[in-house]
Amino acid sequence: MLYLWLKALHIIAIVCWFAGLFYLPRLFVYHAMSEDAASRERFCIMERKLYRGIMGPSMIATLVFGIWMLVANPALFSSGAWLHAKLTLVVLLIGYHHGCGALLKRFARGDNQRSHVFYRWFNEVPVLFLLAIVILVVVKPF
Q: Are 51 and 99 in contact (CB under 8 A)?
A: no
Q: Report whether 126 contacts 22 (CB < 8 A).
A: yes
Q: What confidence tier does 119 reach under pLDDT thresholds 50, 70, 90?
A: very high
Other beta carbons within 10 angstroms of residue 36's beta carbon come to 8
What pLDDT was estimated at residue 85?
98
Burial class from Cβ neighbours inside 10 Å (0-12, 13-18, 19+) for residue 74 reads exposed
Q: pLDDT band for 71, please (50, 70, 90 cuts).
A: very high
Question: 53 falls in which pLDDT band (50, 70, 90)?
Answer: very high
pLDDT at 1: 93
Q: What percent of the chain has pLDDT above 70?
A: 100
DSSP letter at 114?
S
9-49: pLDDT as tens digits = 999 999 999 999 999 999 999 999 999 999 999 999 999 99
End-to-end CA distance of the chain: 27
In angstroms, how far apart are the furthest CA atoms of the chain? 56
Q: What's residue 51's pLDDT?
A: 98
Amino acid at 87: L
Q: What is the pLDDT of residue 21?
A: 98
Which region holds residue 137: left if phi is over 0, alpha if psi is between -120 and 50, else beta? Answer: alpha
- CB-based contacts of 90, cutoff 8 Å, min separation 6: 63, 66, 133
